[in-house]
Amino acid sequence: MRHPIVAGNWKMNKNAEETEDLLNDLINQLPTDKEVEIIVAPTFINLASAVEHLEFTNISVAAQNMHQAENGAFTGEISADMLKSIGVHTVILGHSERRSLFGETDAIIAAKVNQALKYHMRVIFCFGEELKERQEKQHFAVVENQLRNGLFQLEATAWENIVLAYEPVWAIGTGETASPEQAQEMHEFIRTTIRQQYGQEVADNTAILYGGSVKPDNAGEIFSKPDVDGGLIGGAALKAADFAAIVNAAG
Ligand code: PGA
């Protein structure tokens, strides 16, 4: 069965020293008695040290992105094999910033998903509608398309390694959250869509995280919804006390 997950996406924040400091604070402040899986995603250059630092803790490490090719002439890119070789087994793919700022299409993201799974990595697959799409009442169609185009090429068994993160773009970094009801409505729709494609078991076993301005004071209410299995946290993941409070709210 699925279990609660709270993942911190550090984005392009924290140099080497600051990464060490935040990891130490997290080790000291995160609960160890909760049934919550805790993941942090520092920048590429700090992944290896984070893996080492967190070795005997209940916190695991994810990458924020990777390239879809095996290796070769892709200046500036990082492969699944490289991530695996330093002990990173989880990767965030399809984040809205990758889609909007770096031109990642559904097809590119699908290729990345396939490549990550080929290396037996777990994927945190991000998707969500923009404000205009919600205003035009296209949000369900947009989300369904992102799911179909990014993930429905997979066999049912591959879904063991998929975690979903619904992140309405209008709620990311804006301080504007989806209401707990809006989050539940969309999460339920997502689970139904998966059920129609893959059946009840895959739908029931897939964790669907919510992301977008989750903070200590709204996390509890959002996480209490039946189809919300935790969160993907940006800004609030950069402060140990806030991240700890959010993890506590999930457990
Ligand atoms: P935020 O970011 O919590 O700062 O809104 C969430 C995300 O981008 O994953």
Protein residue with least CA distance to atom 6, ligand 1: 234
Residue whose pair of structure tokens reads 């409070």 in the numeric block: 245
- Tens digits of residue pLDDT in 91-120: 999 999 999 999 999 999 999 999 999 999
For residue 176, name the pLDDT band (cuts at 50, 70, 90): confident
**pLDDT, averaged across the chain:** 97
SS (H, E, C) 68-126: CCCCCCCCCCCCHHHHHHCCCCEEEECCHHHHHHCCCCHHHHHHHHHHHHHCCCEEEEE
CB 64, CB 112: distance < 8 Å = no
What band does 182 get if pLDDT is binned at 50, 70 and 90?
Answer: very high
Note if 167 is an active site residue.
yes
Percentage of residues in the chain having pLDDT higher than 70? 100
Cα–Cα nearest to 196, from 139, 217, 188: 188
Model confidence pLDDT, tens digit, residues 76-87: 999 999 999 999
Q: What is the pLDDT of residues 36-72, one digit of tens each?
A: 999 999 999 999 999 999 999 999 999 999 999 999 9
177 and 222 Cβ atoms separated by less than 8 Å: yes
User: Which distant-in-sequence residues (6+ apart) come within 8 Å of 55 by Cβ?
Assistant: none
Measured torsion, CA atoms of residues 154, 159, 165, 169, in degrees rounded to the nearest 10:
10
- What string of H, E and C letters represents the secondary structure of 162-207? EEEEECCHHHCCCCCCCCHHHHHHHHHHHHHHHHHHHCHHHHHHCC
| CB 212 near ligand 1, within 6 Å | yes
Q: Which of 37, 97, 129, 167 is catalytic?
A: 167
Q: How far apart are CA 230 and CA 143, in angstroms?
A: 19
pLDDT of residue 173: 87
Rounded to whole angstroms, how far apart are CA atoms 118 and 132?
36
The percent of residues above 90 in pLDDT, for the chain, comes to 96
Please report the pLDDT score of residue 147 as a whole number.
98
Q: Is 9 in the pocket of ligand 1 (CB under 6 A)?
A: yes
Q: What is the pLDDT of residue 51?
A: 98
CA of 96 to the centre of ligand 1 (A): 10
Residue nearest to atom 9 of ligand 1 (CA): 234
pLDDT at position 211 over 80:
yes
The token duo for 74 is 């892709």
Task: Give the residue whose CA is nearest to atom 7 of ligand 1.
Answer: 234
Q: What is the mean pLDDT of residues 155-163?
A: 98
Is the pLDDT at 33 greater than 80, yes or no?
A: yes
